Amino acid sequence: MSSNINLIDSFQEFKDFKNIDRPTVITVLEEVFRSMIRKRFGTDENVDVIVNPDNGDLEIWRTRVVMEDGFSEDDDLEIELAEAHKYDADLEVGDDYIEQITLESFGRRAILAARQTLVSKILELEKDEVFKKYKDREGELVIGEVYQIWKKEILVLDEDGNELILPKTEQIPADYFKKGDSIRAVVHKVDMMNNNPKIIISRTAPEFLQRLFELEVPEIFDGLITIKKIVREPGERAKVAVESYDDRIDPVGACVGMKGSRIHGIVRELRNENIDVINFTTNNSLYITRALSPARITSIKLDDEHKTAAVYLKPDQVSLAIGRGGHNIKLAGKLTGYEIDVYRETDEEEEDVDIEEFADEIDSWIIDEFKRVGLDTAKSVLTLSEEELVRRTDLEEDTIREIVRILQAEFE
C-alpha cells in the first residue's frame, strides 16, 4: 500500500483553480508543506518534498546522519545508532537514515491550517493572474454572459467565470440586456481594489467600434487599411477616418462593403448608430469637408494657428452639417481637431439681416443658441417652422414665438 499523499484527495480546493498554471500551484504546495515541516522539525534543509504534477501525489523524505550513541547534538539533523537500528539494522555510523513522512503524522490541526494557507495563497495568485491577464488585454474585445443586472451596472461573466463590470455610463443608451444574454464589449480599465481585480468593460469606447471593424473588414485586420481615428456619440453617430496602404483598395468601399454588407452588422451591434466612414487626408481643408459629410460645403476658410475653420454652405445644407442635436458638427470638430463654425451663404441680392443686429431686442444667450445650430441670420431662422426651431435649439415655445415675431417685423 502506497504511503504517498494525494493532494487532490486531501485538498479538494486544488481542483477549483482554473487560472493558475500547474507549475505555480506545485510551487505553492511545496512551500506550504515546507512551512509545516519547519514548524514540526525546526528545519527543512534536510527534507525533500517531491510533488508529482500529473496525479497530485506528494512524497516527503527526511534525511538524518547516523551518529554514535550519545554523540547526537541535533535530533532534527542527526539520529543515534541505537535508534536507527530500530528501523534498519544494516545502518552504520556516518550513513544517511532516510525516512518518509506521512501527512497523517502532522496531525489534524496542522493539516487544516495547511489547507487554509494553501487556499489563501492560491486565491491571491488567481486574483493576480486575472489582473495581469486583463491588464494586458485593455482595449481588446471580450465576450461574456450577462449574470446580474443592477441599476448602475451589469455583472458579466467571461468563459472562465471571471467577473466583468459594465457600468451604465459605458452602455449605449439603447442597450437592453437580460440575464443569460451574450454581450460584446472592450476591456476599458483594470484596477486592483481591496486585493480584488476590478475589470471595467465598455461598449461606448472608440476602441469597441475599432474592434468591430477589425472583425468585419479583413483588410483592416490584415493591415492593408488602417483606422486613423474614431469619434463617437454612442448610439447616435460615429465618424471613422480610414487610410489604405494599397492604391488598389478603396478604404471607404472596403469598410462599407457591397450594399453595406460589412457595416450593417456593426450598425446593428451599436443599436443603429449612424457611422460615417471617410478617407483620411493630410489636407486639412479637404479633411474638414469630408468630416462634415453628408453636407456639401461651398467654401472653407482655415486658421491653422488657432485651429478654427469657417465653413460656408447653401441654406439647405446647413441642417445637414449641424446634424440632429448638433452631433455631426461636434464629431467633425473632434475628428479634425478644428473648431468649426458654419455660415449660411445667401444671394447678395437677397435681403437678409445678421441675427447679431437684433442684440437690442433679443438676449445674447438666445442669439448664441441660434448661432450654435447654424442659424446666424434672420431669414435662416424664419425659413424653419416653430416646431423645428424648438427641437433644434431646446428653447421654450413661447421664446421661439416671440423671436419669430421680432424677426418677421424686420421684413414687414
Q: What are the φ/ψ torsions at residue 382 (nearest 5 degrees)? A: -70, -20
Superfamily of domain 145-204: Nucleic acid-binding proteins (2.40.50.140)
Q: What is the mean pLDDT of each run of 10 residues along the chain (412 residues)?
A: 44 52 76 86 87 72 89 84 88 89 82 80 85 94 96 94 95 95 96 92 97 95 95 95 92 92 94 95 95 91 92 87 90 95 68 83 87 84 85 86 87 70
Retrieve residue 76's grid coordinates.
Answer: 532534527
* Pairing status of strand 57-67 against strand 78-80: parallel
Residue 288 CB partners (closer than 8 Å, separation 6+): 297, 300, 302, 309, 311, 332, 336, 338, 340
Q: Is the dihedral of CA 235, 230, 165, 180 positive or negative?
A: positive
Domain 355-410 sits in CATH at: 1.10.150
- 139: region left, alpha or beta (phi > 0 left; psi from -120 to 50 alpha): left
Q: How far apart are CA 275 and CA 232, in angstroms?
A: 9
Do residues 64 and 146 lie in contact, with contact meaning Cβ atoms separated by under 8 Å?
no
Domain boundaries, the chain: 6-128, 145-204, 223-344, 355-410
Closest Cα partner for 209 from 222, 220, 200?
Answer: 220
Residue 120 CB partners (closer than 8 Å, separation 6+): none
Global pTM?
A: 0.67
Distance between the two ends of the chain, CA-based, in angstroms?
112
Q: What are the φ/ψ torsions at residue 63 (nearest 5 degrees)? A: -115, 130
Determine the pLDDT at residue 12: 44
Q: How far apart are CA 33 and CA 243, in angstroms?
A: 60
Determine the pLDDT at residue 15: 46
Do residues 64 and 79 lie in contact, with contact meaning Cβ atoms separated by under 8 Å?
yes
Domain over 223-344 is classified CATH 3.40.250.10: no
Determine the pLDDT at residue 350: 53
Determine the pLDDT at residue 316: 81
Q: Which fold has domain 6-128?
A: N Utilization Substance Protein A; Chain:P; domain 4 (3.30.1480)
